[in-house]
Amino acid sequence: EPAEALYLGDHGRDIEAGRAVGMPTVSCDWGYIGPDEDVASWGADYRLATPADIPTLIKNILQIN
């Protein structure tokens, strides 16, 4: 189910797409982000600084120790 997945994106349109299908969204501070992009303005449910943060996010969402 869409609500059981995460949509990670490096552009505002990715966050919009994830929301459109009912997925929790994650903005990523890496990838194809232009210097003038305001990642915080995308309004994602979560935000990650590096790919290395993905496992911690998943553990936190699932509340795994």
Query: pLDDT tens digits for 4-38?
Result: 999 999 999 999 999 999 999 999 999 988 889 99
The answer to whether 26 touches 45, Cβ cutoff 8 Å, is yes
Backbone angles phi, psi at 34, to 5 degrees: -75, 160
pLDDT in tens, 35-60: 899 999 999 999 999 999 999 999 99
Residue with tokens 């189910």: 1
Residue with tokens 């929790």: 24
Query: For the whole model, what pTM was predicted?
Result: 0.89
